[in-house]
Amino acid sequence: MKIRQALISLSDKRGALEFARGLAAQGVKLLSTGGTAKLLKEAGLDVTEIGDYTGFPEMLDGRVKTLHPKVHGGILARRDLPEHLATIAAHDIPTIDLVCVNLYPFRETVAKAGVTLADAIENIDIGGPAMVRSAAKNYAGVAIVTDPDDYAPLLAEMQANGGALSLTTRFGLAKKAFTHTARYDSAIANWLTGQDDAVAETPEAAAPVPAAFPQKLQLAFDRVETLRYGENPHQQAAFYRDTVATAGAIANYHQLQGKELSYNNIADADAAWECVKTFDTPACVIIKHANPCGVAIGATALEAYDKAFKTDTTSAFGGIIAFNRELDGSAATAVAKQFVEVVIAPSFSSEARQIFAAKQNVRLLEVPLERAYHAFELKRVGGGLLVQSPDMFNVQPSDLKVVTKKAPTDAQLEDLLFAYRVAKFVKSNAIVFCGGGMTLGVGAGQMSRVDSTRIAAIKAQNAGLSLAGSAVASDAFFPFRDGVDVLAEAGAVAVIQPGGSMRDAEVIAAADEHGLAMVFTGARHFRH
């Protein structure tokens, strides 16, 4: 199918001039609208404005430009039906073989502070989506272009094929075009259904921040790759990325070497990365089956790794390791001695790269270190979707309330804050023993808190780590005193927990009985 006439109407004009020049060089007639026509004319291109083409001027402040039979007839007429071609010929409507359109910047508009409902409404495109959908529907005879990244390859294909584009190319463009309009409409629906109805009474006033949860939630993700399998070999899986990248998220990884990532690799890598990037000082997090089995801070990446690894050398086997600093040669040498699935860092030194080059199966992931968060956390349930805001609460000393006779020392307070930060990333029920900027024992995912406490103490004993003088974090309140009894017997001297139990008085009395310092945060960190 040779391209003879193209309609170009763009909000985002990146690359538009070069694309139009390329089309004109191949003898394609150009139609255009408003600002795009002005741009092309000023560049010396021969272009017909849409009002001159239809014989009907643009009107209503540009709301009506391309909604005309001479536009849509030329796009929608089927080239394989003689009666369609006869009809448009009878009405002097030539075919339009290529439509290049992108839409009013609705998402960019509503992202601005102080946006009004009136501003948002005026940036809802009508004619653009209509043309995109018309051209995409008739892909057998029309090429629809919505992405500036497609300009160069399309011109190259036309040059190689006498001005024609293949059916495969046109079908691919149609799929992209319907995705483009679907996501555009989704953005409008999400924003409008997130607004209180009262905003319509004063559309010129700054719209309030939309409700956290739209009444009708539309989601959009791009498939990055199809994975070998899911959590288990009999399950199929794929990895999708947000269409609007979240800064610093694991989905922005750049893989330097290693085998393809698996479903479990990506899930565990996310858990490791989200935990390690919360620390300001050099830190290392080792994850196994979605739980931290070792977390530590140090003066260097090597020191942080050595301390984290000591927490649980058994569980660290085949784990995921994340650093919040460049991985240098000394740290890489230490990590390379163990069996590890994935290593994550903001960057890897050339020496570290050389060390891991000898272990080509180890996946190395570079991820930009930015502390941004997803707008929503999502979890599928049968027939529905749970949506929540991310847990961004990081306890500060000013948040703490000392509830026991004994207050923690400055050193104990540091350990408590460290332990509570780690507990946020441990599956509930979570108990974390810490000391000296490292985890000593982690109890995760038990049905009772006292069992998590016992397991954490047992794991520390198995690792040969003393809990004498340790600090303990609990992700939620102690429902009974038994958990406090166990951690005190293990050697802990300070406890941090949210508080809020019906038996808080009993639990505090137990802490006083054992001579513990206990502080309440007022905020729990359940993680399921």
3-state secondary structure of 301: helix
Residue 527 to residue 379: CA distance in whole angstroms: 12
Mean pLDDT within 90-118: 87
**Mean pLDDT of the chain, nearest integer:** 91
Q: What is the pLDDT of residue 208?
A: 64
Report helix, strand and coil shares of the chain as percent, to nearest 5.
40, 20, 40
- CATH code where residue 191 lies: 3.40.50.1380
- 342 with 415, same domain: the answer is no
Query: Per residue in 220-231, pLDDT tens?
Result: 888 988 998 999
- Give the total number of structural domains in the chain: 3
Q: What is the pLDDT of residue 57?
A: 73
Band of the pLDDT at 59, cuts 50, 70, 90?
Answer: low
| Domain housing 280 | 251-366
Q: Closest by alpha carbon to 78, among 142, 144, 151?
A: 142
DSSP for 206-250 reads: BPPPPPSS-SS----EEEEEEES-SSSTTS-EEEEEESSPPTT-G
Q: What is the pLDDT of residue 53?
A: 84
- Residue 242: inside a domain, yes or no? no
Say if residue 209's pLDDT is above 70. no
- 132 with 57, same domain: the answer is yes
- Residue 420: inside a domain, yes or no? yes
3-state secondary structure of 152: helix
Q: Given CA atoms 128, 130, 135, 137 in this order, what sign does their dihedral have?
A: positive
- 166 with 86, same domain: the answer is yes
- Residue 508: inside a domain, yes or no? yes
Mean pLDDT within 89-100: 91
Say if residue 211's pLDDT is above 60. no
- 402 with 355, same domain: the answer is no
- 51 with 165, same domain: the answer is yes
**Total count of residues recorded for the chain:** 528
> Which of the listed residues 325, 351, 366 is the one where a domain comes to its end?
366
- Residue 311: inside a domain, yes or no? yes
- 140 with 282, same domain: the answer is no
**CA–CA distance from 350 to each of 323, 330, 331, 367 (Å)?**
16, 12, 13, 16
Q: Which residue did the predictor score with more confidence, 439 or 128?
A: 439
Q: What is the pLDDT of residue 21?
A: 93
> Which of the listed residues 154, 178, 198 is the one where a domain comes to its end?
198
Say if residue 206's pLDDT is above 80. no
Query: Per residue in 338-389, pLDDT tens?
Result: 999 999 999 999 999 999 999 999 999 999 998 777 778 888 899 988 988 8
Query: Per residue in 150-200, pLDDT tens?
Result: 999 999 999 999 999 999 999 999 999 999 999 898 888 888 888 877 777
Band of the pLDDT at 147, cuts 50, 70, 90?
Answer: very high
Q: What is the pLDDT of residue 190?
A: 84
**CA–CA distance from 38 to each of 11, 52, 61 (Å)?**
13, 14, 17
- Residue 444: inside a domain, yes or no? yes
Q: pLDDT over 70 for what percent of the chain?
A: 97
3-state secondary structure of 526: coil
- 181 with 294, same domain: the answer is no
- Residue 154: inside a domain, yes or no? yes
Measure CA of the first residue to CA of the last residue in the chain; give whole Å: 55
Band of the pLDDT at 264, cuts 50, 70, 90?
Answer: very high
Residue 217 DSSP class: -
Q: Which residue did the predictor score with more confidence, 64 or 341?
A: 341
Band of the pLDDT at 61, cuts 50, 70, 90?
Answer: low
Residue 245 DSSP class: P
- 125 with 46, same domain: the answer is yes
Query: Per residue in 9-22, pLDDT tens?
Result: 998 889 999 999 99
Q: Which residue did the predictor score with more confidence, 216 or 465?
A: 465
3-state secondary structure of 436: coil
Band of the pLDDT at 482, cuts 50, 70, 90?
Answer: very high
Band of the pLDDT at 494, cuts 50, 70, 90?
Answer: very high
* Active site residues per annotation: 137, 289
- Residue 213: inside a domain, yes or no? no
- 320 with 449, same domain: the answer is no
Is 304 within 8 Å of 282 (Cβ atoms)? yes
Residue 115 to residue 377: CA distance in whole angstroms: 26
3-state secondary structure of 388: strand
Mean pLDDT within 299-315: 96
Q: What is the pLDDT of residue 475?
A: 94
- Residue 77: inside a domain, yes or no? yes
Query: Per residue in 384-435, pLDDT tens?
Result: 889 888 888 888 899 999 999 999 999 999 999 999 999 999 999 999 999 9
Among the ranges given (137-141, 166-170, 246-250), the one the predictor scored with the smallest mean pLDDT = 246-250
Q: Please report how many Cα atoms fall inside a 13 Å half-sphere around the Cα of residue 526, on the Cβ side.
A: 4
Q: Say which amino acid occupies 337.
A: K
- 184 with 278, same domain: the answer is no
- 362 with 404, same domain: the answer is no
Residue 123 to residue 217: CA distance in whole angstroms: 20
- CATH code where residue 277 lies: 3.40.140.20
Say if residue 212's pLDDT is above 70. no
- 335 with 420, same domain: the answer is no
